[in-house]
């Protein structure tokens, strides 16, 4: 998992992973911000952490460092949880279909930063959050799940952010679990077909 800040989505994914029936485990929390508060919590919970400032490094060079750490820990999926840095095309291509992001809007509306301010400025009455697969474009890619959140009269960017965060914490663990389960059952099915095929007599 990659984070840059507070790590509340990381915490939601981490604590959900402790349920006995959760199909995923967190093998690494890595950050491009060495003092990201989320790293402290991850370490306290016994999760391996890795931190390296990206400053002074080329994007692809930095991503190769992160990729090596993910491989070293045996990661099979990469969950971006408030990772506020664009990924290089090479990293995105390598993890295609296995890299997810969460964004605090109902994508495709309001990509990028200052989302809640934009929602309020537009006078919208509904916002939400989205989990999607990562593609090279920012906050783009196939949508895996969304939750709608009401905008209340008197909301500020902060009160709205809090409510959207709450929805994010419900959505992300569920979507990640579904994706991992689907991949596991596909892998199991392929394995079964392969073993059946091996047992079949040679074709004439």
Between 42 and 70, CB nearer to ligand GAR = 42
Question: Residue 86 CB, nearest distance to ligand GAR (Å)?
Answer: 10
CA neighbours within 13 Å on the CB side: how many for 61? 7
In this structure, are strands 126-133 and 143-150 parallel, antiparallel, or unpaired? antiparallel
Binding positions for ligand GAR, 54-93, rule CB under 6 A: 81-82
195 assigned to a ligand binding site:
no
Taking a C-beta distance cutoff of 8 angstroms, is the pair 31, 50 a contact? Answer: yes
Between 7 and 141, CB nearer to ligand GAR = 7
Residue (of 76, 78, 67, 100) closest to 168 by Cα position: 100
**Annotation says 103 is catalytic:** yes
Binding positions for ligand GAR, 2-61, rule CB under 6 A: 3, 5-9, 38
Q: From CA 15, how far away is CA 9, in angstroms rounded?
A: 10
Q: Which of 54, 103, 165, 169 is catalytic?
A: 103
Out of 32, 103, 134, 146, the only residue in the binding site for ligand GAR (CB under 6 A) is 103
Question: Residue 64 CB, nearest distance to ligand GAR (Å)?
Answer: 22
Question: Residue 189 CB, nearest distance to ligand GAR (Å)?
Answer: 33
Residue (of 14, 133, 25, 28) closest to 70 by Cα position: 28
Out of 59, 165, 170, 174, the only residue in the binding site for ligand GAR (CB under 6 A) is 165
Catalogue the active-site residues. Answer: 103
Q: Pick out the residues of the known binding site.
A: 7-9, 59, 84-87, 101
Binding site for ligand GAR (CB under 6 A): 3, 5-9, 38, 81-82, 102-104, 139, 165, 168
């Amino acid at each position: 998992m990659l984070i840059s800040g507070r790590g509340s989505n990381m915490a939601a994914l981490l604590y959900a992973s402790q349920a006995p029936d959760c199909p995923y485990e967190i093998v690494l929390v890595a950050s491009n911000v060495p003092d990201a508060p989320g790293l402290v919590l991850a370490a306290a919970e016994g999760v391996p952490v890795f931190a390296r400032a990206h400053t002074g490094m080329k994007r692809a060079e930095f991503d190769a460092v992160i990729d090596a750490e993910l491989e070293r820990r045996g990661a099979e999926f990469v969950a971006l949880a408030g990772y506020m840095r664009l990924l290089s095309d090479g990293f995105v291509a390598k993890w295609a279909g296995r890299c997810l992001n969460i964004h605090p809007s109902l994508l495709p509306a309001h990509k990028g930063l200052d989302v809640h301010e934009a929602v309020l400025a537009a006078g919208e009455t509904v916002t939400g959050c989205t989990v999607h697969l990562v593609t090279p474009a920012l906050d783009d890619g196939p949508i895996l799940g969304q939750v709608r959140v009401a905008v209340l009269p008197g909301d500020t960017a902060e009160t709205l952010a809090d409510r959207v965060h709450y929805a994010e914490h419900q959505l992300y663990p569920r979507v990640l679990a579904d994706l991992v389960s689907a991949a596991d059952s596909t892998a199991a099915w392929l394995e079964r077909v392969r073993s059946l095929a091996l047992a079949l007599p040679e074709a004439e």
